[in-house]
Protein backbone atom coordinates (compact mmCIF):
# COMPACT_ATOMS: atom_id res chain seq x y z
CA UNK A 1 0.00 0.00 0.00
CA UNK A 2 2.87 2.31 0.82
CA UNK A 3 4.29 1.74 -2.64
CA UNK A 4 0.90 2.35 -4.20
CA UNK A 5 0.61 5.70 -2.41
CA UNK A 6 4.13 6.60 -3.51
CA UNK A 7 3.36 5.72 -7.11
CA UNK A 8 0.15 7.72 -6.93
CA UNK A 9 2.13 10.77 -5.86
CA UNK A 10 4.84 10.15 -8.44
CA UNK A 11 2.77 11.84 -11.14
CA UNK A 12 2.06 15.08 -9.26
CA UNK A 13 5.58 15.15 -7.81
CA UNK A 14 6.94 14.86 -11.35
CA UNK A 15 9.01 11.81 -10.50
CA UNK A 16 8.17 10.01 -13.75
CA UNK A 17 10.58 10.39 -16.63
CA UNK A 18 10.68 9.12 -20.17
CA UNK A 19 13.78 7.61 -21.66
CA UNK A 20 14.02 7.11 -25.39
CA UNK A 21 15.45 4.44 -27.64
CA UNK A 22 15.92 5.02 -31.39
CA UNK A 23 14.58 2.81 -34.11
CA UNK A 24 17.17 2.66 -36.90
CA UNK A 25 16.99 1.95 -40.63
CA UNK A 26 20.39 0.26 -40.78
CA UNK A 27 20.88 0.59 -44.53
CA UNK A 28 20.79 4.40 -44.32
CA UNK A 29 21.66 4.75 -40.59
CA UNK A 30 18.58 6.97 -40.28
CA UNK A 31 16.66 7.15 -37.04
CA UNK A 32 13.07 6.61 -38.15
CA UNK A 33 11.37 6.92 -34.75
CA UNK A 34 12.09 6.72 -31.04
CA UNK A 35 10.30 4.62 -28.42
CA UNK A 36 9.48 6.24 -25.08
CA UNK A 37 10.15 4.03 -22.06
CA UNK A 38 9.07 5.12 -18.60
CA UNK A 39 11.22 5.31 -15.48
CA UNK A 40 10.43 6.39 -11.92
CA UNK A 41 12.92 8.69 -10.23
CA UNK A 42 12.64 7.69 -6.59
CA UNK A 43 15.05 8.43 -3.73
CA UNK A 44 17.87 9.19 -6.14
CA UNK A 45 17.34 5.96 -8.06
CA UNK A 46 15.82 5.36 -11.49
CA UNK A 47 13.32 2.55 -11.02
CA UNK A 48 12.88 0.41 -14.16
CA UNK A 49 9.35 -0.28 -15.48
CA UNK A 50 9.43 -3.96 -14.54
CA UNK A 51 9.37 -2.80 -10.90
CA UNK A 52 6.38 -0.48 -11.13
CA UNK A 53 4.35 -1.06 -14.32
CA UNK A 54 2.75 -4.26 -12.91
CA UNK A 55 1.63 -2.37 -9.77
CA UNK A 56 0.45 0.51 -11.95
CA UNK A 57 -1.67 -1.91 -13.99
CA UNK A 58 -3.13 -3.65 -10.92
CA UNK A 59 -4.12 -0.36 -9.31
CA UNK A 60 -5.31 1.41 -12.44
CA UNK A 61 -2.66 4.10 -11.97
CA UNK A 62 -1.38 3.11 -15.40
CA UNK A 63 -4.12 5.28 -16.93
CA UNK A 64 -3.05 8.67 -15.49
CA UNK A 65 0.59 7.61 -15.93
CA UNK A 66 0.03 6.84 -19.60
CA UNK A 67 -1.87 10.09 -20.09
CA UNK A 68 1.13 11.87 -18.62
CA UNK A 69 3.42 9.89 -20.98
CA UNK A 70 1.36 11.01 -24.00
CA UNK A 71 1.62 14.68 -22.96
CA UNK A 72 5.33 14.39 -22.17
CA UNK A 73 6.06 12.60 -25.46
CA UNK A 74 4.17 15.32 -27.35
CA UNK A 75 6.16 18.02 -25.56
CA UNK A 76 9.43 16.24 -26.35
CA UNK A 77 8.63 15.54 -29.97
CA UNK A 78 7.82 19.24 -30.39
CA UNK A 79 11.16 20.20 -28.84
CA UNK A 80 13.07 17.80 -31.11
CA UNK A 81 11.21 18.90 -34.23
CA UNK A 82 11.99 22.54 -33.39
CA UNK A 83 15.63 22.11 -32.45
CA UNK A 84 16.62 19.50 -35.03
CA UNK A 85 14.28 20.39 -37.86
CA UNK A 86 13.38 16.74 -38.46
CA UNK A 87 9.95 15.11 -38.45
CA UNK A 88 10.72 12.60 -35.73
CA UNK A 89 7.97 10.32 -34.37
CA UNK A 90 7.75 9.12 -30.78
CA UNK A 91 6.16 5.75 -29.95
CA UNK A 92 4.37 5.43 -26.61
CA UNK A 93 3.49 2.10 -24.96
CA UNK A 94 -0.14 1.97 -23.84
CA UNK A 95 -2.05 -0.72 -21.94
CA UNK A 96 -4.69 -2.22 -24.23
CA UNK A 97 -7.63 -1.32 -22.04
CA UNK A 98 -6.93 2.33 -22.78
CA UNK A 99 -7.85 1.59 -26.38
CA UNK A 100 -11.33 0.57 -25.27
CA UNK A 101 -11.84 3.91 -23.50
CA UNK A 102 -13.72 6.31 -25.70
CA UNK A 103 -11.63 9.26 -24.52
CA UNK A 104 -8.26 8.02 -25.82
CA UNK A 105 -8.64 9.90 -29.10
CA UNK A 106 -9.41 13.11 -27.16
CA UNK A 107 -6.39 12.50 -24.93
CA UNK A 108 -4.20 12.30 -28.00
CA UNK A 109 -5.79 15.38 -29.53
CA UNK A 110 -5.24 17.32 -26.30
CA UNK A 111 -1.64 16.17 -25.97
CA UNK A 112 -0.62 17.06 -29.53
CA UNK A 113 -2.82 20.17 -29.67
CA UNK A 114 -1.19 21.60 -26.57
CA UNK A 115 2.21 21.39 -28.24
CA UNK A 116 1.24 22.16 -31.80
CA UNK A 117 2.35 18.90 -33.40
CA UNK A 118 0.26 16.73 -35.76
CA UNK A 119 -1.27 13.56 -34.23
CA UNK A 120 1.02 11.49 -36.46
CA UNK A 121 4.01 12.71 -34.45
CA UNK A 122 2.90 10.12 -31.90
CA UNK A 123 2.73 6.38 -32.52
CA UNK A 124 1.16 3.90 -30.13
CA UNK A 125 2.43 0.44 -29.17
CA UNK A 126 0.10 -2.26 -27.95
CA UNK A 127 1.12 -5.81 -27.05
CA UNK A 128 -0.23 -8.62 -29.15
CA UNK A 129 -1.73 -10.68 -26.32
CA UNK A 130 -3.74 -7.77 -24.97
CA UNK A 131 -4.92 -6.73 -28.39
CA UNK A 132 -6.35 -10.20 -28.96
CA UNK A 133 -8.14 -10.28 -25.62
CA UNK A 134 -9.83 -6.97 -26.29
CA UNK A 135 -10.13 -7.19 -30.06
CA UNK A 136 -13.76 -6.01 -30.29
CA UNK A 137 -13.49 -3.29 -27.70
CA UNK A 138 -10.44 -1.68 -29.30
CA UNK A 139 -11.55 -1.71 -32.94
CA UNK A 140 -13.52 1.58 -33.02
CA UNK A 141 -10.68 3.45 -31.32
CA UNK A 142 -8.06 2.00 -33.66
CA UNK A 143 -10.12 3.10 -36.66
CA UNK A 144 -10.47 6.64 -35.31
CA UNK A 145 -6.75 6.82 -34.54
CA UNK A 146 -6.01 5.65 -38.06
CA UNK A 147 -8.23 8.43 -39.45
CA UNK A 148 -6.28 11.11 -37.62
CA UNK A 149 -2.91 9.67 -38.67
CA UNK A 150 -1.77 7.94 -35.48
CA UNK A 151 -0.03 4.67 -36.35
CA UNK A 152 -0.33 1.51 -34.28
CA UNK A 153 2.55 -0.92 -33.70
CA UNK A 154 2.08 -4.43 -32.33
CA UNK A 155 4.66 -4.94 -29.59
CA UNK A 156 6.29 -8.27 -28.66
CA UNK A 157 4.92 -9.76 -31.88
CA UNK A 158 5.07 -13.54 -32.10
CA UNK A 159 4.62 -14.24 -28.39
CA UNK A 160 0.90 -13.63 -28.05
CA UNK A 161 -2.22 -15.26 -29.34
CA UNK A 162 -1.62 -16.93 -32.66
CA UNK A 163 -4.70 -15.73 -34.53
CA UNK A 164 -3.63 -13.49 -37.36
CA UNK A 165 -7.10 -12.54 -38.58
CA UNK A 166 -7.01 -9.22 -36.77
CA UNK A 167 -4.07 -8.06 -38.87
CA UNK A 168 -6.31 -7.95 -41.91
CA UNK A 169 -9.20 -6.16 -40.23
CA UNK A 170 -7.48 -3.65 -37.94
CA UNK A 171 -5.46 -0.65 -39.11
CA UNK A 172 -2.04 -1.85 -37.95
CA UNK A 173 1.09 -0.18 -39.37
CA UNK A 174 3.97 -2.05 -37.76
CA UNK A 175 4.99 -5.40 -36.25
CA UNK A 176 7.77 -5.41 -33.68
CA UNK A 177 9.38 -8.85 -33.61
CA UNK A 178 9.78 -9.89 -29.99
CA UNK A 179 13.35 -9.77 -28.80
CA UNK A 180 13.40 -13.43 -27.73
CA UNK A 181 13.45 -14.39 -31.42
CA UNK A 182 16.32 -11.99 -32.11
CA UNK A 183 18.21 -13.30 -29.06
CA UNK A 184 17.88 -16.85 -30.39
CA UNK A 185 19.03 -16.08 -33.94
CA UNK A 186 22.11 -18.20 -34.49
CA UNK A 187 21.29 -20.26 -31.39
CA UNK A 188 18.18 -22.21 -32.30
CA UNK A 189 17.23 -23.47 -35.73
CA UNK A 190 13.65 -22.22 -35.32
CA UNK A 191 14.33 -18.55 -34.72
CA UNK A 192 15.47 -17.58 -38.23
CA UNK A 193 12.42 -19.43 -39.56
CA UNK A 194 10.09 -17.47 -37.28
CA UNK A 195 11.72 -14.15 -38.13
CA UNK A 196 11.53 -15.00 -41.82
CA UNK A 197 7.85 -15.89 -41.49
CA UNK A 198 7.04 -12.64 -39.66
CA UNK A 199 8.94 -10.62 -42.28
CA UNK A 200 7.05 -12.39 -45.08
CA UNK A 201 3.74 -11.82 -43.30
CA UNK A 202 4.49 -8.14 -42.82
CA UNK A 203 5.52 -7.70 -46.46
CA UNK A 204 2.42 -9.50 -47.73
CA UNK A 205 0.15 -7.28 -45.62
CA UNK A 206 2.06 -4.07 -46.35
CA UNK A 207 3.22 -3.57 -42.76
CA UNK A 208 6.51 -2.28 -41.45
CA UNK A 209 8.54 -4.81 -39.51
CA UNK A 210 11.00 -3.91 -36.75
CA UNK A 211 13.41 -6.22 -34.94
CA UNK A 212 13.67 -5.55 -31.21
CA UNK A 213 16.58 -6.26 -28.90
CA UNK A 214 19.39 -6.30 -31.47
CA UNK A 215 22.62 -6.58 -29.47
CA UNK A 216 25.19 -8.12 -31.82
CA UNK A 217 26.55 -7.43 -35.27
CA UNK A 218 25.85 -10.99 -36.39
CA UNK A 219 22.16 -10.56 -35.47
CA UNK A 220 22.11 -7.33 -37.45
CA UNK A 221 23.65 -9.03 -40.48
CA UNK A 222 21.33 -12.00 -40.29
CA UNK A 223 18.30 -9.72 -39.99
CA UNK A 224 19.31 -7.89 -43.15
CA UNK A 225 19.64 -11.23 -44.93
CA UNK A 226 16.16 -12.12 -43.66
CA UNK A 227 14.78 -8.89 -45.10
CA UNK A 228 14.44 -6.83 -41.93
CA UNK A 229 16.47 -3.62 -41.85
CA UNK A 230 14.52 -1.64 -39.24
CA UNK A 231 15.97 -2.37 -35.83
CA UNK A 232 16.03 -1.31 -32.22
CA UNK A 233 18.53 -2.50 -29.67
CA UNK A 234 21.49 -1.94 -27.41
CA UNK A 235 23.89 -2.30 -30.38
CA UNK A 236 22.67 1.10 -31.60
CA UNK A 237 21.60 2.79 -28.39
CA UNK A 238 20.21 1.95 -24.96
CA UNK A 239 17.14 3.84 -23.81
CA UNK A 240 18.54 7.24 -22.71
CA UNK A 241 17.35 10.62 -21.47
CA UNK A 242 16.11 13.03 -24.16
CA UNK A 243 19.22 15.26 -24.00
CA UNK A 244 21.52 12.35 -24.73
CA UNK A 245 19.60 11.51 -27.85
CA UNK A 246 19.68 14.88 -29.62
CA UNK A 247 23.15 14.32 -31.07
CA UNK A 248 22.14 10.84 -32.25
CA UNK A 249 19.02 12.14 -33.97
CA UNK A 250 20.90 14.91 -35.72
CA UNK A 251 23.70 12.62 -36.88
CA UNK A 252 21.21 10.18 -38.36
CA UNK A 253 19.54 12.76 -40.59
O1 LIG B 1 12.28 0.10 -20.58
P2 LIG B 1 12.44 -1.37 -20.47
O3 LIG B 1 13.53 -0.68 -20.57
O4 LIG B 1 12.95 -1.91 -19.14
O5 LIG B 1 10.87 -1.58 -20.36
C6 LIG B 1 10.39 -2.77 -19.84
C7 LIG B 1 8.97 -2.99 -20.21
O8 LIG B 1 8.11 -2.01 -19.62
C9 LIG B 1 8.76 -2.92 -21.71
O10 LIG B 1 8.32 -4.19 -22.09
C11 LIG B 1 7.70 -1.92 -21.93
O12 LIG B 1 6.67 -2.42 -22.73
C13 LIG B 1 7.18 -1.58 -20.55
N14 LIG B 1 7.06 -0.14 -20.49
C15 LIG B 1 8.05 0.78 -20.52
N16 LIG B 1 7.57 2.02 -20.51
C17 LIG B 1 6.22 1.89 -20.49
C18 LIG B 1 5.14 2.81 -20.49
O19 LIG B 1 5.32 4.04 -20.53
N20 LIG B 1 3.88 2.30 -20.46
C21 LIG B 1 3.64 0.97 -20.45
N22 LIG B 1 2.38 0.55 -20.42
N23 LIG B 1 4.62 0.07 -20.47
C24 LIG B 1 5.89 0.52 -20.49
O1 LIG C 1 7.91 -2.17 -24.97
P2 LIG C 1 8.95 -3.22 -25.04
O3 LIG C 1 8.66 -4.50 -24.42
O4 LIG C 1 9.32 -3.50 -26.44
O5 LIG C 1 10.18 -2.49 -24.36
C6 LIG C 1 11.43 -2.52 -24.85
C7 LIG C 1 12.28 -3.18 -23.81
O8 LIG C 1 13.38 -3.78 -24.45
C9 LIG C 1 12.85 -2.22 -22.81
O10 LIG C 1 12.90 -2.90 -21.61
C11 LIG C 1 14.24 -1.97 -23.33
O12 LIG C 1 15.14 -1.57 -22.33
C13 LIG C 1 14.55 -3.36 -23.83
N14 LIG C 1 15.60 -3.42 -24.83
C15 LIG C 1 15.82 -2.56 -25.84
N16 LIG C 1 16.88 -2.96 -26.58
C17 LIG C 1 17.33 -4.10 -26.02
C18 LIG C 1 18.40 -5.00 -26.33
O19 LIG C 1 19.15 -4.84 -27.29
N20 LIG C 1 18.53 -6.08 -25.53
C21 LIG C 1 17.71 -6.31 -24.48
N22 LIG C 1 17.94 -7.39 -23.74
N23 LIG C 1 16.69 -5.50 -24.15
C24 LIG C 1 16.51 -4.41 -24.92
MN1 LIG D 1 7.39 -1.29 -26.84
NA1 LIG E 1 8.54 -5.42 -27.18
- Based on the structure, what is the number of domains in the chain? 1
User: 29-43, 150-164, 172-186, 235-249: lowest mean pLDDT where?
Assistant: 150-164
CATH number, domain of 55, equals 3.20.20.450
Computed over every residue of the chain, the mean pLDDT equals 92
For residue 78, pLDDT over 90 is answered with yes
Atom 13 of ligand 2, residue of closest alpha carbon: 213
DSSP the chain: -HHHHHHHHHHHTT-EEEEEEEEEETTTTEEEEEEEEEEEEETTEEE-GGGTHHHHHHHSTHHHHHHHHHHHHHHHHHHHHHHH-----EEEE--GGGGGSTTHHHHHHHHHHHHT--GGGEEEEEEHHHHHHTHHHHHHHHHHHHHTT-EEEEEEETSS----HHHHHS---EEEE-HHHHHTTTTSSHHHHHHHHHHHHHHHHT-EEEE----SHHHHHHHHHTT--EE-STTT---B-HHHHHHHHHHH-
92 CA distance to ligand 3 centroid (A)? 7
Domain carrying residue 16: 2-252
- Report ipTM (2 d.p.): 0.96
Residue to mutate, 37, 97, 128, ligand 1, most ligand atoms under 8 Å from C-beta: 37
23 CA distance to ligand 2 centroid (A)? 12
Amino acid sequence: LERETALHKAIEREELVLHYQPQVEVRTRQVTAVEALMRWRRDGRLVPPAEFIPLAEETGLIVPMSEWALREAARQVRAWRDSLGVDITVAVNLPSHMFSRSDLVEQIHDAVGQHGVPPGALRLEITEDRLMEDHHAVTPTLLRLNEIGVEIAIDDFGTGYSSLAYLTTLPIAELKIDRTFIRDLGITAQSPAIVQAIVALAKALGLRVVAEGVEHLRQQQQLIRLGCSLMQGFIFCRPVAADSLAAELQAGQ
